[in-house]
């Protein structure tokens, strides 16, 4: 039911039977495009061309909805996120933020606070839903290869590549607030220089691709956007070809362990693999390895 | 009441009315200098020239006192820390450490242990007070751009720059002890190579500026001390010009999130911004952005 | 009682009196070699030359036993781990894994799960025992300088060097499972790029020495295996020459702090040093420093 | 849109305008009844009379939906949960559990495991949604006074009363499984005797009302069901009359603090009250107290 | 320098030499009385008789100061806290709270929030200082036997007794706020019925002595105030007679373990006793036990 | 290989084939007796009659060994712990403690501290091994019903009963030390009155059976020792008759959840039951329930 736009290169029809019941048909994506350019790989494009893909309210809600649906879709095993046009995203839509603050209940500071908290938690949830895809109760699926700038959004992605001309900026301090949809929480756990994180967050200075690579924010820099998308899709395809029991189990445990002591993580993965090592994917994989085949030659059942 | 020395370049009188009541007037800083070279930026200099700025007991106590006062001073929004002369600091004063250990109660190992714990917690508190400036109950304010070697001390700073000739050393292992004022706790959360941290801590080998940059300990290397100070003051000035609601809220949440799971940090910043998004600094900042102005053009009220 | 093989260069007899009582004499190491090439430094070699040092069940159990014995041996203060021949290790022995899974109790999924958990926890314990050496109740001792590829194993080492031709691979995803002996827990806390960790874990792609250095997995790259071993032994010797009170206390507190908030780590090291600052190693070290001597000139008692 | 049944005593029409948009109108509650017997208090009745109110799948889902709607309804400030007829609930519906297990995917143990996890997390969510009402992003509202046996369900309630003839049983061990929807997690944090918790969980023995009172599981025992309901509604009414800023803030902080160190809880409530102490409810309440009035005499705005 | 009032029964002169240097002489306690009725035991009395010992700002600050001084005084090993006259304390002074809120900075909600947070953290610190006495860096000393109602305050005490006519109330909800100086954090960890805690906190109902005993809030109920004070002083004397190494080490570890997993607590006490088991107090105590003497017959050195 | 003494009532031969290989035959229990009085239930008796079952070094080590063996023995599903003769245990053997302290290395406080830590961790491990039985990697099995006084030891048991004349005492404070084998960590999580815990730990006062029951330390008080043992064995038998998948899964999750937030515990049990709900024990149990049979009528396979 999502408007899956045929991609110029190699588009497959989006498997409509996989769309869960609750995404009722009337909805139409407006700020996002969902393309299927490779088997088992979805390509999610921020699509507000005139606005440098700035995230307006509609966009936030569509993100939640799209990732909820993707999580339910056993056909999709990896998602690539990119921006339409030159920019990835200009971030939060300034004009909308202003009108949101203006619309708060006027009478009482505590009631205004309560309403604000509801908004913030909703925005946080957009990105957390993205981060969680493939790990939670009702979420069959993937891991992804996102693309370019927009620090809140990309820090909720699993893998980050960028093009040579990309730049990154934590702009909130220049708008008079502390960032509250994930940058201050995730960025320090993603990159290897706390001094740099502080500098970026306190001064809103721009960081360019080479610095992003050397600090570990992105793991590859590609010459231009075309190359970037090509490589991202290739990596996504490689992930999607692997056993979903292996890939999603890896993601569940990486996320679990990020926030806990090593001993806790070890205990969790042991409990996890009590069940998961009983999968047929292991003998299939071992046999393929003995036959000098790769995982892309093995047909794994959906998860 | 602190001896604020006029700086050669652009010194302003230190606003004596901001000094809180409890720093009674008789005190005179001896191991430290406090200069005001830019508006809203203080420059704290370790100042024991004959001793390569080694940290003696007086120095530790003056650090606590200075940072307690700075925390109370709403006029100051950023602090730059440097060392007088060529060195930043030679670290703990060897001779003093010896006499401190010699002065322990002789009779009973448990009472000696209790006295040692008191000393260690006091020393830890010097640097923790520095780290906490601008985040805690009675602390209105800032964030800072510190300067050169001295690993315990600098790892409690928010941002670290150094000059080309700087070097860093975790010396404790060569004195027969495990470092106990913060290096072993903070360094691994600051840099991106645990192998390197272990190597430095087990062997006391010297690390030079390029390695410090590539491992993320410092985020910039400048050619010499003059350039270093200039850039540090500029960054500090840039921070000081921004909304204190934004800067201090960012610091509070970065520190909070460093030590906790992402989900906890998200919850905290949502609770924080229940109140903080009601600030007038946001409409002021948004208006400035729409007017193509920067944060330095906006007069923000003190916090 | 271990078969300590004389090393070509500078081998000392392994001090048999230090072997604890419980490692009964009948045992013979088959997959490992234990060499003593420097005073107070042991060199542990994975030794299954025809199998590229793949880790079979025997090997896992010998690792636990060796590290348990080393932990009890007050003569040994550092361990270097390497692989015999060109490779470090090919990782888990594929054939064995298959037969282990085949040997599970057939009748009931829950009982199969319980048996699997037992195996996983046992394998985890091999590497955790290695990581813990020198920190736990009955473990007098060291810290080490390991060597080359094999990600699960090396991520439990303290310091990692590699040769120019080394490469690293997280292979589990290609075998249909989530890695469960420590990679997903330790790797993200070791290196400074979460994006890279995810990429390696989801795609099983190979990472070569320069990337391993720049992401912080290894802290030095040496031209070839001979140079690698030489440098590793030198660093190990430097560590072994230092006060064991200082080195082991440093390791205990680094490991403790890795998994906890800074405030917890500070409290722990203060409690630790209540006792440890009462050591004679500090006055000895301070005196040596005043005499312009290094720690290698001071005879420290065993711990 | 919920079928709110007029209660014999004092029923008010359920305010239909408060039902949020997403609970589309076609839904009809079948296993639950929602009554409004007092102003601002809803009474939720488990209602499967022939089945001793056993929880079937429909019931779980209706619970989630009802509590999601209640959370959005600013008119409701407290909920009383009870069972229709003599029993509160017989717990999980045995027959359904069997058919659920029978319907698992047959082919692969890992895929079966993944499906099981999804079910368990869904069931857990029913009760967690209940526990969270009034604390989370989009949840304006209350706290409640639940009623009688059914340990998983009642341990997610805030306050528990029972009648003299009530009994409680942790039955899972007699069905061959470890309880997995909350009993093992919440019960030990609710009552003051770990020995008793273990005994109940390992033996499935029945605990009667007096023991439930003395161990702290319930805080009051009433003579019979009529008295029980009367008192529960009174307490609920008393809660509902108080400032929602106070009641919901209290609940948010009690839940937050239950799972964290005291120092964390103190920090959270300080951040919370940064905004919430700015409420008009405090001057209103203080004035009422000075006027010797109670909170039920003060009209507080909705939250 | 504190006004130590001679007590009717058995007063000893307060050892003025033990008062630490920083409590400068001008201070006079006005809302508190400090009596020394037994050797090594101080008796702290809330003393605002006309106001039912309500806690005004002066009182909060004197509490912090008194406990800071007591912590420094090696002569004092236990503190009894009581209220002058019939009541223990009426809690926060209503009138003062109003004027404090009225005095907030008018211009900006964020700046008002910052000021509120400062006040709350200060108030929290009063009770936390009390709770910490004898555990922290510069605090030699005790443990105490407090007395009657006033839930925030008493939940920071170690031991609680009350008289038959005592009652307890969590009043904050009736003033329109969530309690923020410790009740919501500490009470659930102190008593064995979470249902009761919730009921008290949501309804502000009064709890009387028998219920307080049965839920574990107090551990003894005495017939009247005279008996209460007598027993409290006796218990305090018994505590004060014991080895301060044992008593304070016990308190440090109880507080540490309350907020952490059992495994963490075990590790902490092992590290703690590395030093503390080397005390002379153990051979002294063991010898006394062999001689059939009690701890009160052994002279232990101060800590 | 353990000396299993035939019990007067109903003794079965201890299944020697279940004794794991590593408990080599030469060992003879001296301070403990291991009896098998009911099917699948072992009865462990502290047995040093002349010494009131005081715990000497031999006893500690035999405890570790016995519980390690029990953990490996799939025939045993519950353990009852009691004391021979009138007393349960007099606790730590005073004379031995003295000689242990006397035997510490004389030369250096840090090395003495290291040796002390080793001893403490070893003692802690005795009780922790007991607590963990049935939960850890290589431990097939149970849960138990222990018996009478000796607070360190019994707080590591799952269920506690006592006779009418039992009394309990935390004696460490009277020996000049803070308890370090588990009392301060476990007791506050076991009973529902923190005030009482503190009183017991600070004053070493004796607590008798009725107070132990009302505070939740024990869950039943029996008239005399014969009745006590009879009831304990009955409860143990009831536990042993139930599905080991259910009982041990329950214990694993209760222990896991005790030390963690509710949300963590929920996640863990969901992961656990991914595998465990696939057991045949559930359909067997459900069928038995439908046939109106109890779990003792169902033959469950060993775990």
| Res C62 pLDDT > 70 | yes
Q: Please, what is the angle between helix B262-276 and helix E109-132, to 10°?
A: 130
**Which residues of chain B have a CB within 8 Å of the CB of D245?**
none
Q: Which of C176, C188, C193, C211 to mutate to test the interface with A (most CBs of A within 10 A)?
A: C176
What is the DSSP code (8-state) at residue D92? B
Look at residue E207 in the predicted model and tell me its pLDDT: 92
Percent of chain F beyond pLDDT 90? Answer: 29
Put simply, the answer to whether A175 touches B258 (Cβ < 8 Å) is no
**Which residues of chain C have a CB within 8 Å of the CB of D117?**
none
Where residue C123 falls among pLDDT bands split at 50, 70, 90? confident
Element (H, E) at E38: strand E32-38
Q: For F149-172, write each residue's pLDDT tens digit.
A: 467 788 888 999 988 988 888 988
**Which residues of chain B have a CB within 8 Å of the CB of A182?**
262, 266
Residue of D nearest to B249 (CA): D271
Of E117, E140, E245, the CB nearest to B110: E245
Look at residue F141 in the predicted model and tell me its pLDDT: 37
Look at residue F22 in the predicted model and tell me its pLDDT: 37
Q: Which residues contact C97 (CB under 8 A, 6 or more apart)?
A: A286, C175
ipTM of the complex: 0.84
Look at residue E27 in the predicted model and tell me its pLDDT: 55
Residue A246 C-alpha, separation from nearest chain D C-alpha, in angstroms: 10
Of C109, C128, C186, the CB nearest to A278: C109
Across the A/D interface, how many CB contacts are shorter than 8 Å? Answer: 75
Look at residue F145 in the predicted model and tell me its pLDDT: 38
Look at residue F201 in the predicted model and tell me its pLDDT: 92
Q: For A233-252, write each residue's pLDDT tens digit.
A: 999 999 999 999 999 899 99
**Which residues of chain E have a CB within 8 Å of the CB of F257?**
none
**Which residues of chain F have a CB within 8 Å of the CB of B107?**
none
* Mean per-residue pLDDT of chain F: 80
Where residue B214 falls among pLDDT bands split at 50, 70, 90? very high
**Which residues of chain E have a CB within 8 Å of the CB of A112?**
109
Percent of chain E beyond pLDDT 70? Answer: 84
Residue C136 C-alpha, separation from nearest chain E C-alpha, in angstroms: 10
Q: Is the CB of residue B179 less than 8 Å from the CB of residue B201?
A: yes
Q: For E250-261, write each residue's pLDDT tens digit.
A: 999 999 999 899
Domains in chain A with CATH codes: 16-241 (3.90.226.10), 242-303 (1.10.12.10)
C-alpha distances in angstroms, D81 versus C217, D42, D44, D230, D254? 56, 9, 5, 12, 20
Residue F291 C-alpha, separation from nearest chain D C-alpha, in angstroms: 13
One DSSP character per residue, D207-232 reads EEHHHHHHTTS-SEEESSHHHHHHHH
- The residues of chain D scoring below 50 in pLDDT are 1-26, 136-149
Q: Please, what is the angle between helix D281-290 and helix E94-102, to 10°?
A: 150
Give the C-side interface with E, CB within 8 Å: 137, 268, 270-272, 274-276, 278
Q: For F31-50, write each residue's pLDDT tens digit.
A: 899 999 898 999 998 888 88
Look at residue D96 in the predicted model and tell me its pLDDT: 77
Q: Is the CB of residue B180 less than 8 Å from the CB of residue B116?
A: no
Look at residue B147 in the predicted model and tell me its pLDDT: 41
Q: For F216-253, write each residue's pLDDT tens digit.
A: 999 999 998 889 889 999 999 999 999 999 998 999 99
Q: What tokens appear for F242 in the block? A: 């139930």
**Which residues of chain E have a CB within 8 Å of the CB of D270?**
117, 120-121, 124, 180
Residue A74 C-alpha, separation from nearest chain F C-alpha, in angstroms: 19
- Of the listed ranges C135-139, C235-239, D164-168, E243-247, the one predicted with least confidence: C135-139
Residue C116 to residue B252: CA distance in whole angstroms: 44
> What subunits make at least 3 CB pairs under 8 angstroms with E?
A, B, C, D, F
Residue D25 to residue C108: CA distance in whole angstroms: 46
Residue D110 C-alpha, separation from nearest chain A C-alpha, in angstroms: 5
Residue of E nearest to B245 (CA): E110
Residue of D nearest to C109 (CA): D109
Put simply, the answer to whether B178 touches C253 (Cβ < 8 Å) is yes
Look at residue E59 in the predicted model and tell me its pLDDT: 85
Q: What tokens appear for B50 in the block? A: 């004959």
Residue F224 to residue F166: CA distance in whole angstroms: 9
Residue B108 to residue F16: CA distance in whole angstroms: 52
Across the E/F interface, how many CB contacts are shorter than 8 Å? Answer: 173
Put simply, the answer to whether D274 touches B272 (Cβ < 8 Å) is yes
**Which residues of chain E have a CB within 8 Å of the CB of A260?**
none
Average pLDDT over residues B260-276: 91
Put simply, the answer to whether D121 touches A136 (Cβ < 8 Å) is yes
Answer with the residue of higher pLDDT: E113 or F141. E113
**Which residues of chain D have a CB within 8 Å of the CB of F189?**
194
> What subunits make at least 3 CB pairs under 8 angstroms with D?
A, B, C, E, F
Residue C76 to residue A57: CA distance in whole angstroms: 63
Q: What tokens appear for F121 in the block? A: 């961790």
Across the A/C interface, how many CB contacts are shorter than 8 Å? Answer: 172
Put simply, the answer to whether D174 touches F281 (Cβ < 8 Å) is no
Q: Is the CB of residue B294 less than 8 Å from the CB of residue A174?
A: yes
Q: Is the CB of residue B101 less than 8 Å from the CB of residue B92?
A: no
Q: Which residues contact A141 (CB under 8 A, 6 or more apart)?
A: A70, A71, A73, A74, A76, A77, A133, A134, A244, A248, A303
Q: For D132-147, write each residue's pLDDT tens digit.
A: 765 543 333 333 434 4
E243 alpha carbon, distance to own chain's centre: 20
Look at residue A133 in the predicted model and tell me its pLDDT: 67
Look at residue C33 in the predicted model and tell me its pLDDT: 92
Put simply, the answer to whether F137 touches C114 (Cβ < 8 Å) is no
Q: Choose among B238, B60, B266: nearest CA to B153.
A: B60
| Res C200 pLDDT > 90 | yes
Look at residue A234 in the predicted model and tell me its pLDDT: 92
Where residue B133 falls among pLDDT bands split at 50, 70, 90? low
Residue E273 C-alpha, separation from nearest chain C C-alpha, in angstroms: 9
Beta bridge partners of D161: D220
Average pLDDT over residues E272-281: 91
Look at residue E150 in the predicted model and tell me its pLDDT: 59
Put simply, the answer to whether A140 touches D278 (Cβ < 8 Å) is no
Residue D296 C-alpha, separation from nearest chain E C-alpha, in angstroms: 9
Look at residue B135 in the predicted model and tell me its pLDDT: 56
**Which residues of chain B have a CB within 8 Å of the CB of A124?**
266, 270
Q: What tokens appear for E66 in the block? A: 């008194």
Look at residue B20 in the predicted model and tell me its pLDDT: 31
Look at residue F17 in the predicted model and tell me its pLDDT: 30
Which of A56-70, B9-23, E145-159, F230-244 is modeled with the greatest confidence? Answer: F230-244
- Of the listed ranges A30-44, B150-164, E21-35, F105-119, the one predicted with least confidence: E21-35
Residue F72 C-alpha, separation from nearest chain E C-alpha, in angstroms: 23
Residue A113 to residue D249: CA distance in whole angstroms: 12
Answer with the residue of higher pLDDT: B4 or E181. E181
Beta bridge partners of F34: F4, F44
Q: Which of A160, A211, A273 to mutate to test the interface with C (most CBs of C within 10 A)?
A: A273
Look at residue B207 in the predicted model and tell me its pLDDT: 92
> What subunits make at least 3 CB pairs under 8 angstroms with C?
A, B, D, E, F
Query: What are the percentages of helix, strand and coil residues in chain F, rounded to 5?
Result: 50, 10, 40
What does the longest C-alpha to C-alpha distance in chain C come to? 72
Beta bridge partners of D167: D208
Q: What tokens appear for F207 in the block? A: 């607590």
Q: Is the CB of residue C195 less than 8 Å from the CB of residue B196?
A: no
């Amino acid at each position: 039911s999502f408007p899956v736009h045929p991609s110029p290169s190699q588009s497959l029809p989006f498997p409509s039977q996989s769309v869960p019941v609750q995404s009722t048909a009337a909805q139409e994506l407006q700020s996002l495009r969902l393309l299927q350019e490779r088997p088992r790989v979805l390509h999610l494009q921020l699509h507000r061309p005139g606005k440098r893909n700035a995230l307006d309210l509609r966009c936030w809600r569509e993100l939640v909805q799209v990732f909820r649906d993707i999580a339910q879709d056993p056909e999709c095993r990896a998602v690539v996120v990119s921006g339409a046009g030159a920019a990835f995203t200009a971030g939060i839509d300034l004009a909308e933020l202003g009108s949101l603050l203006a619309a708060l209940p006027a009478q009482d500071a505590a009631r205004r606070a309560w309403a604000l908290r509801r908004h913030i938690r909703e925005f946080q949830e957009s990105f957390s839903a993205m981060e969680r895809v493939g790990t939670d109760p009702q979420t069959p699926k993937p891991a992804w290869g996102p693309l370019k700038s927009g620090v809140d959004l990309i820090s909720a992605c699993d893998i980050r590549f960028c093009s040579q001309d990309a730049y990154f900026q934590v702009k909130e301090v220049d708008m008079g607030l502390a960032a509250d949809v994930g940058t201050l929480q995730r960025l320090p756990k993603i990159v290897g220089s706390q001094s740099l994180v502080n500098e970026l967050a306190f001064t809103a200075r721009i960081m360019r691709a080479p610095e992003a690579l050397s600090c570990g924010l992105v793991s590859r820099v590609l010459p231009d956007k075309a190359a970037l998308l090509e490589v991202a899709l290739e990596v996504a395809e490689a992930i999607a070809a692997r056993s979903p029991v292996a890939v999603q189990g890896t993601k569940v445990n990486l996320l679990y362990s990020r926030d806990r002591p090593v001993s806790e993580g070890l205990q969790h993965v042991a409990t996890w693999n009590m069940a998961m090592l009983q999968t047929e994917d292991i003998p299939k994989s071992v046999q393929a390895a003995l036959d000098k085949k790769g995982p892309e030659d093995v047909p794994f059942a959906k998860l």
